[in-house]
Chain A
């Protein structure tokens, strides 16, 4: 259990010192900030839009059972098979079953964080199927056998040189420094995959209860191809993706684009409401929608932090987070990184194992301030700390505070301790920053304040 924390600390230390990483992230996010501010300013009233979005999601979550039933019923009415999965394992089994039934050989996938969450690719590959990620960033990290670095920009941590080397090694392409050429190499490599794939798997950004449709937001067109060409299409989504009405998208799509990538609107916002219908010329013969719980209902049962289910996965809180920008996405070792990941991972994977993420925060509140659906992120980090301490109090901490209380409540004793501190201070220098130092965790990189020769009280008494 401890190893998650230790790994986290080791990695953080390593990444924060990597100059190349810092430079890449700062340039990438600097560009993002300029664009985001420009697009935000185009809104007539961004703060009011945020409040409206927050209330819409609140309403959706408050009637989640009703909305989900409507959503499923409407999809089913037009020939979609809707599956419900309580756990990651059930979801994997359902998808494996569909893939086996369709006698598929190859599978094309567009970006889906939910699929990362349930380790779908591993399961499919284990069962002998070829799965190809079609989003360029995801394709790159898949070739590197890595997890996505960021929920919106999966390959933000790589330079074009590294990508060129990777493509040369894996695809046999000629090395190039041009992002355009690199993109075209991937485009060519993936084209045939779309056409020959038997199954297409997608995620979803929103689920519209009113019309029984899922909505996918993307820039590249890979999700559209994934949904157009293979004869079987599967969409995996969390149950919290619900929006009540179709017109809610008129607010959510531009907000997602603005907060997430500094765009007025993402290139493709597509709605899918079933398999190929009578009279239509293409689209899958079979459409499956898999609704995933995987402990979301547990988060729902906590009214204090329930609003974390409002998240639209825009990634804005990652982009502004000083911790994320310093330690990078992979250090979290979770599917969802950044502030939102720190908040929900303890719910999804256990508080004691993942509480350290809630401590790794300056509590500056930049995340809360930027979140388009106004999730109270930094307070949730505090609540996680409180809950973990309540669940498993630290003995030393308790003892320290008890002792402090004893001393603080007795002025005479306090005076003695003060004198002793002054006396022992020179001795501290001998061990400072070494393992013998009782305050090692603090003093290895910082100084303790020096105890002055004279206290304020003494000075007050002796002032002329």
Chain B
């Protein structure tokens, strides 16, 4: 018997004895059975509340961003977007940026008029490491948690959104989703069965509390996360 078969056999053997449903013990005050057994979308009723209208959701996303120390801007025109990008470039003194092709990133790169390390195909990691910012698109924004959903297909691979010290996300209003169940549903409907090899929910800039539980931004990933939503 190989290892795989041996482990599976031990599991099957062990499972011939059944265990009672969980939570039968006290579980402390406030204990009670859920009204609905877990199933598709059922988490929604227990997770933090999200409003129904676009305004409420954007307000929630904005509030979450503020708490997470994400810089979030809702912009009305492409001109506004271009202006903000140029401002960022000048304030932070960007010399070069990393990006990938996309209907929002393309014009943004042109506006910035800087050398670009493109991660559409194979690229040199050392080049990407020297970039001052990584400009990506995304799959969705999630109001409930202030997260950005990226995949290797939507955001130029695995490293572009984590290696440069500043991650700038370009998104569209239609991409705002209410909550986490909606985000995972989107991953499935958009990609199944041909999933990208990487997907990530990015919730704020990289952080650590490993030294005396004191929050420090920019542990290994980006020190800054900016979301520009058109």
A binds B: yes
**A interface, CB within 8 angstroms of B:** 24, 27-28, 31-32, 42-52, 54-59, 61-62, 64-65, 68-69, 72, 78, 83-86, 90, 134-137, 140, 153-156, 158-160, 163, 179-180, 182-184, 186-187, 190-191, 195, 211, 213, 219-222, 224-225, 227-229, 239, 245-251, 253-254, 261, 264-277, 279-283, 287, 291, 293, 297-298, 300-301, 303-304, 306-307, 310, 365, 368-370, 373-376, 379
Instruction: Name 9 interchain pairs, CB-CB below 8 A, sorted by A.
Output: A42-B48, A58-B22, A213-B195, A229-B159, A249-B180, A250-B180, A250-B183, A277-B196, A368-B26
Knowing that A195-B125, A229-B125 touch, tell me 5 more A-B residue pairs with CB under 8 angstroms: A48-B35, A179-B212, A269-B200, A280-B196, A368-B27
Q: B202 within 8 Å of A by Cβ?
A: yes
Q: Which of B11, B35, B162 contacts A224 (CB 8 A)?
A: B162
A183 adjacent to B7 (CB under 8 Å)? no
State in angstroms the CA–CA spacing of A267 and B217 once bound together: 11
B23 adjacent to A55 (CB under 8 Å)? yes
Chain A nearest CB, measured from B167 CB (Å): 10
B46 adjacent to A282 (CB under 8 Å)? no
State in angstroms the CA–CA spacing of A224 and B221 once bound together: 8
B123 adjacent to A282 (CB under 8 Å)? yes
A282-B123, A368-B27 as given contacts; A52 in contact with B42, CB under 8 Å: yes
B145 adjacent to A265 (CB under 8 Å)? yes
State in angstroms the CA–CA spacing of A92 and B46 once bound together: 41
State in angstroms the CA–CA spacing of A85 and B10 once bound together: 13
Residues of B within 8 A of A270 (CB): 198-201
A219 adjacent to B46 (CB under 8 Å)? no
B207 adjacent to A64 (CB under 8 Å)? no
**B interface, CB within 8 angstroms of A:** 2-4, 6-8, 10-15, 17-23, 25-35, 37-38, 40-49, 64, 100, 119-123, 125-126, 129, 145-147, 152-153, 156-159, 162-163, 179-181, 183-185, 187-188, 192, 195-214, 216, 218-222
Residues of A within 8 A of B2 (CB): 84
Residues of A within 8 A of B46 (CB): 43-46, 48-49, 52, 251
B11 adjacent to A68 (CB under 8 Å)? yes
B211 adjacent to A86 (CB under 8 Å)? no
B214 adjacent to A179 (CB under 8 Å)? yes
Residues of A within 8 A of B19 (CB): 58, 61-62, 303-304, 306-307
State in angstroms the CA–CA spacing of A25 and B23 once bound together: 30
For A370, give the chain B residue with the smallest CB separation: B28
Chain A nearest CB, measured from B190 CB (Å): 12
State in angstroms the CA–CA spacing of A77 and B157 once bound together: 21
A78 adjacent to B197 (CB under 8 Å)? yes
A191 adjacent to B129 (CB under 8 Å)? yes
Q: Which of B43, B120, B145, B158 contacts A228 (CB 8 A)?
A: B158
A239 adjacent to B199 (CB under 8 Å)? no
Residues of A within 8 A of B209 (CB): 153, 219, 261
State in angstroms the CA–CA spacing of A373 and B38 once bound together: 13
Chain B nearest CB, measured from A27 CB (Å): 8
A281-B123, A368-B25 as given contacts; A183 in contact with B179, CB under 8 Å: no
B158 adjacent to A254 (CB under 8 Å)? no
Chain A nearest CB, measured from B224 CB (Å): 13
A46-B46, A48-B34, A86-B7 as given contacts; A224 in contact with B200, CB under 8 Å: yes
A251 adjacent to B200 (CB under 8 Å)? no
Residues of B within 8 A of A365 (CB): 26, 28
- Which of B45, B197, B201 has most chain A Cβ within 10 Å? B197
Chain A nearest CB, measured from B218 CB (Å): 7
| Top 4 A-B residue pairs of the complex, sorted by shortest distance between their CB atoms | A221-B221, A369-B28, A220-B219, A228-B158
For B31, give the chain A residue with the smallest CB separation: A47
A28 adjacent to B157 (CB under 8 Å)? no
Residues of B within 8 A of A273 (CB): 195-198
B197 adjacent to A221 (CB under 8 Å)? no
A51-B34, A219-B207, A269-B200 as given contacts; A32 in contact with B64, CB under 8 Å: no
A271 adjacent to B198 (CB under 8 Å)? yes
B17 adjacent to A303 (CB under 8 Å)? yes
State in angstroms the CA–CA spacing of A158 and B121 once bound together: 44
B181 adjacent to A267 (CB under 8 Å)? no
Chain A nearest CB, measured from B209 CB (Å): 7
For B29, give the chain A residue with the smallest CB separation: A369
State in angstroms the CA–CA spacing of A182 and B209 once bound together: 12
A51 adjacent to B23 (CB under 8 Å)? yes
A220 adjacent to B220 (CB under 8 Å)? yes
Residues of A within 8 A of B222 (CB): 221
Chain A nearest CB, measured from B61 CB (Å): 13
B15 adjacent to A62 (CB under 8 Å)? yes
Q: Which of B18, B145, B201, B213 contacts A268 (CB 8 A)?
A: B201
Residues of B within 8 A of A246 (CB): 184, 187-188
